[in-house]
Structures are given as C-alpha cells and as structure tokens.
A and B are shown apart, each in its own frame.
Chain A
Amino acid sequence: MKLEERLRGVRRSPWVYHLNSGSCNACDIEILDALTPFFDAERFGVKLVASPRHADVVLFTGPVTREALPKVVKTLKAVPRPRIVVAIGSCAVGGGIWWNTYSTIGGFEKFQGVLKQQGVEIDKVVYVPGCPARPEAIIYGLLLALGYVKQKVSKVVKVVES
C-alpha cells in the first residue's frame, strides 16, 4: 500500500507518542501546551499515549544526545509502520545551539543515518523549527504530517544586484 493510502487511515485519530531525546524541556512543555484545552489538539483526535507500540505519530524533541541514542533507536523500532515523525524544535531539526557539541548527534537529519544502519525505516518526517516551537507551529507541523495543510516554505535564493 502506498504511504498516502496508509496515511488516510491514520488521519482520523492520530495517537501521538512524545519522545524526548535530550531536549532542554522547553519544547516538551510546548507540546503539553498544544494538548491542553487552550490549543486543544484533541480537536483533531490527537491523543497522547504512553507506549511507542500504540503510536501513529512520534513527536520528537531534542538533538539526540549520545546517552539517549541507543534508547531512542529502540523506541523508534517499536513504533509500528507507517512511522511518522514530527521533529520539533531547532534542536531536533538542525542541532540548534548544540550543533557542534561533542555529546550530541546534531538533530534528526543526521540521526537518520544511524537509523538506516540499524535498519529502522522512517516513512515520513516533518521538521518544525522554533526554539521552542510555538504550540500553533506544533499543531501546524502535525497537520502537515497528516496532510491537512499545505507546506508554506520552500528554498529561497536571493541574488544581490550591484
């Protein structure tokens, strides 16, 4: 089955699992914010679950510290296919302020190389920048992963005339 077809099944009520790979906790607080009645992600059927085996979408935060690396790989292995990951925060997207620290891998993009070695396939990744990402930005990223909204950003090249 194609990914789009399988996504259709998930869209009805995505269960999310919150995976912290060594973030500073601000992004995690924002995820909780997005789930409170104020922003109310449950409008879209989003429900936080306690086990990766129940998860449709993984909300991923942090730059993947060396300490957390084996545990994060194990956790993602336990998530059933299709594996959809929403990488939240500048740490998870590009390493953030820990981009060249010895003790982190440097974000989900580099981490995917490790996952490939371990034979863990990720079907879809959505990157949500922000430090921390706003609750609205998290909701937007989640909806983008599920195909409710269109992506707004694209690569920009500006040439200076002089």
Chain B
Amino acid sequence: MQISRIASPLKLLTIALKVGRVTKKYPFGPPLLTESFRGAISIDPAKCWGCGACTLVCPPNALTMRLEGEKIVLEYFKGRCIFCGMCADTCPANAIIVTKEFELAATSVEDLKEDVIHKMSKCAICGKPFVATAEIRDVMKMQPITEEYANICPECRKKRAVKAFGMRFGAST
C-alpha cells in the first residue's frame, strides 16, 4: 500500500517523459493540418463561367448569384461556408479549388465576402442581356454546333422554333 502510493506519481512521471511535449506551438509554430482538411474555397475568375451550378448545391447558400444591371455577381460569403467542398465537385469548369486556409477571423462580416463580377451577353434578336459572356465563350469551345443559337436568348429561340414549325404547316408568317 505504502509502496504503491510512492510509486504512482513516479509511474505518471515516466509516462509523461516517454510521451514528451505534445502542445502545438501555434500561432508561433505550424498548425496541425491533416491531409484531408478542407478550408475556404477559392474561385478562379479566369475559369468561372458564371453558370450558377455551385449556388444550387451549396447547402448553406454561402454562394449566391445576383443581377446588378447588366452584370452577374457571384458572391461567396466565407462566414456562412461550411467547407464541404460540394461546389468544387459540381463546378463544370473546375474553377473552384478547396484551399487549406483557416485563419479567416475578421472583425466585420463584410471582410468575409468575395465577389466575382461577370459581364453579360446581349441577345442578338431582342437585345436583352441573358447570360454571362464567359459561359458562351466556353460552351462554344466545347460544342461548336451550338454556335448558331449561342447568341440568342431562350425566349427568342422559342419564338423562332414556333415560327419555323408553323411555316412547315402552311402558316403565312
């Protein structure tokens, strides 16, 4: 009984000496980041089409899209992002990469926002802006067959198809 009372702190000491120091020195040393850690995403403006696929899959709506006159603005709000990486999986242009950035603390919510501003293309028939210019550019690279339709908005395309269909059945205009 007496011996074990003396021996138990010694045992603890030997374990502590064997394990050594475990405390991470962060922020004075490197952080403990594993291979599978996901941090904030980064959108490459050179690759992004402005298609909005990422805004549809984002679970907390951290990625949103809004129209500002003749511009499409893709907004990324880091404060609401849950770092799931679903947008990176979905993006058809591979414009999104998941970084390991985690030092995102900010004193204002505005500092956590990121805007990607796209120009819009105008419809060749009615002149209404309808899609991001980058999307037309890249879709045409992938599917040259769409060239004839690419500059026309969905409504005008519909009207044209109805007209062509009617003419086939003998309508005058």
Contact residues of A with B, CB < 8 Å? 37-40, 43, 90, 93-97, 99-100, 107, 109, 124-131, 133-134, 136-137, 139-141, 143-144, 148-149, 151-162
Please list the residues of chain B having a beta carbon within 8 angstroms of any beta carbon in chain A. Answer: 22-24, 26-27, 31-32, 37, 40, 43, 45-46, 48, 50, 59-62, 77-83, 102-119, 132-134, 137
Bound-complex Cα distance A140 to B102 (A): 9
Q: Is the interface of B mostly helix, strand, loop or mixed?
A: loop
Contacts of B81 in A (CB 8 A): 90, 129, 131
Closest to A38 in B: B22
Bound together, the chains give a CA A77 to CA B79 distance in angstroms of 25
Contact in complex: A155, B113 (CB < 8 Å): yes
Distance from A147 Cβ to chain B, minimum over Cβ atoms (Å)? 11
- A97 B105 Cβ-Cβ under 8 A: no
A160–B82 touching, CB < 8 Å: no
Partner of B61, one of A99, A131, A144: A99
Residues of A within 8 A of B119 (CB): 160, 162
Indicate if the CB atoms of B117 and A158 lie closer than 8 Å. Answer: yes
Chain A residues near B113 (CB, 8 Å)?
Answer: 155-156
